[in-house]
Amino acid sequence: MTPQRSFSISRHLNKLRWLSLSLVFAMLIALPCLHVYQTYVAAHAYDLIAPSEKQFYDVMEALTSPLTNDPATDLDAVKGNTWSGNFWGLKLSDPLAAVGQAAAGMTLYWPFLLTALIPIVVTAFFGRIFCGWICPANFLYELNSNLAAWLQLIGLKTGMRRFDRRIKYVVLAVGLGLSILSGSIMVAAIYPPAIIGRELYYAIAQGGFGVGMVFFAATLLFDFFVSRRGFCRYLCPGGALYSLLGRYRLVRIQRQVQTCNDCQKCNAVCEFELDPWHDGFGQECTNCAACIAICPTDALTFNLRLVDLAPQGPGHLGRQYRREHEHLDRDVDEAAA
């Protein structure tokens, strides 16, 4: 019989994160639907549209009627996607969008740059929280990763190659350099959350996917057959920027060595192959809380620190520590005798 652990909210943060990822993904599907419905309403087009579109109209009308009496106007309140959007008057942009725009335009257009301020401040506090909690591509990448893990369990091999994490900083630098040279935000073309936002809009509002979906499918295959979570770990330019911005994040996960039993499950479930067992979170940690959720002894918690703790050695509940300290205790006893 396994002992019951007391309820701890931090252990359930990973579920909350999945809820957040699901809601963001659902929002990216809902927004183009709302936009299409809004267009139909504004054009008084009900009698002109095809029967299947009428069904769509009716469903959207039923969903939105409790919220608004004037969808043609009121649905303007929410527009955009995670790349850049307007949410009830609050304009938010991905920091990569701001940096990319500044590079492509070779100017600092403050009204747009300021829309990235809140995400930058949040990243300075919480690190790559966008990657772990919001990124719609991460939602799909993690599902893909789970599928790969399950297939491994039934005997199929999937990609586990490792590369240098610094490649993504090169990708970011090259992308921004090309943006400067071309005058176009090149990083947006290979940035999965921006691609997902665009492609979902194309698919729903314009009836077909664009070439971006081919690229995104290629990244999923890369993750599946070459390197688990390879795109986020090694290639994503946004991940590189968030890692830099979150290098000195205030909120970070910390291991309590006194309650660690060295089971290493935290290392196993970390999607970014970090090393929580040796206190190695670094700037790549997304604060996803998967390691906290899996820890059987609640040895991982959130803490307020600007840097990670130095490696604390083996966990005090682990065999290695006990063995070493039994030796020490015995030596001390023998010396005393």
Partner 1 sequence: MRVVFLIMLASTLFAMLPGFLGLSGQATAHHILGRPAYNLNEDSNTPPSMQAEVQVGQYQMTYMIYPAFPQPGEGARVSLYIIGIDDGVPYDGKVAFTIREMPWASFLGDDGHEDHLGTQPPDDKVYRQGFTVPEAGDYLVTARFEGNGEPYVVDFPLRVGIPPLLGPFAYVGAGVLLLLIVIAVVRRRQAITAKIRTAQSSQSAQR
Determine, following the binding rule CB under 8 A, whether residue 267 of this chain makes contact with partner 1.
yes
State the nearest-atom distance from the C-beta of 260 to partner 1, in Å: 16
Exactly one of 45, 121, 147, 304 binds partner 1 (CB under 8 A); that residue is 147
**Which residues fall within 8 angstroms of residue 255, CB to CB, at 6 or more apart?**
266, 276, 277, 279, 299, 300, 309, 312, 315
Q: What φ, ψ does residue 228 adopt, rounded to 5°?
A: -60, 125
Helix 136-153 with 211-225: angle, nearest 10 deg = 40
Report the distance separating Cα 267 and Cα 205, nearest Å: 42
3-class DSSP assignment, residue 229: coil
Please report, for residues 10, 46, 133, 239, the alpha-carbon distance to residue 16 in angstroms, rounded to integers and kept in the order given.
Answer: 10, 39, 9, 21
Query: By CB under 8 A, what part of segment 190-229 binds partner 1?
Result: 203, 207-209
Determine, following the binding rule CB under 8 A, whether residue 55 of this chain makes contact with partner 1.
yes
Determine, following the binding rule CB under 8 A, whether residue 268 of this chain makes contact with partner 1.
yes
State the nearest-atom distance from the C-beta of 152 to partner 1, in Å: 5
| CB closer to partner 1, 63 vs 147 | 147
The candidate with the shortest Cα–Cα distance to 191, out of 222, 237, 231, 233, is: 237
Exactly one of 269, 303, 312, 317 binds partner 1 (CB under 8 A); that residue is 269
State the nearest-atom distance from the C-beta of 291 to partner 1, in Å: 12
- Candidates 146-154, 246-254, 301-309, 312-320; binding stretch for partner 1 (CB under 8 A): 146-154
Determine, following the binding rule CB under 8 A, whether residue 156 of this chain makes contact with partner 1.
no
Exactly one of 53, 86, 120, 170 binds partner 1 (CB under 8 A); that residue is 53
| CB closer to partner 1, 273 vs 298 | 273
State the nearest-atom distance from the C-beta of 111 to partner 1, in Å: 36
- Size of interface with partner 1, in residues (CB under 8 A): 27
- Candidates 53-61, 168-176, 182-190, 241-249; binding stretch for partner 1 (CB under 8 A): 53-61
Report the distance separating Cα 38 and Cα 32, nearest Å: 10
Query: By CB under 8 A, what part of segment 278-337 binds partner 1?
Result: 294
Exactly one of 118, 160, 221, 304 binds partner 1 (CB under 8 A); that residue is 160
Exactly one of 1, 9, 50, 306 binds partner 1 (CB under 8 A); that residue is 50
The Cβ of residue 279 has, within 10 Å, a number of other Cβ atoms equal to 18
Report the distance separating Cα 75 and Cα 67, nearest Å: 10
- Candidates 85-93, 149-157, 233-241, 316-324; binding stretch for partner 1 (CB under 8 A): 149-157
Exactly one of 64, 84, 123, 144 binds partner 1 (CB under 8 A); that residue is 144
Which two structure tokens, joined as six digits, stand for 131? Answer: 């990657």
Q: Where are the alpha helices (DSSP H) in 43-135?
A: 51-64, 71-74, 95-105, 110-113, 117-126, 129
Are residues 238 and 191 in contact, defined by beta-carbon separation less than 8 angstroms? yes
Determine, following the binding rule CB under 8 A, whether residue 120 of this chain makes contact with partner 1.
no
End-to-end CA gap in the chain:
42
Are residues 93 and 119 in contact, defined by beta-carbon separation less than 8 angstroms? yes
Interface contacts to partner 1, rule CB under 8 A: 50-53, 55-56, 140, 142-144, 146-147, 149-150, 152-153, 160, 203, 207-209, 264-265, 267-269, 294
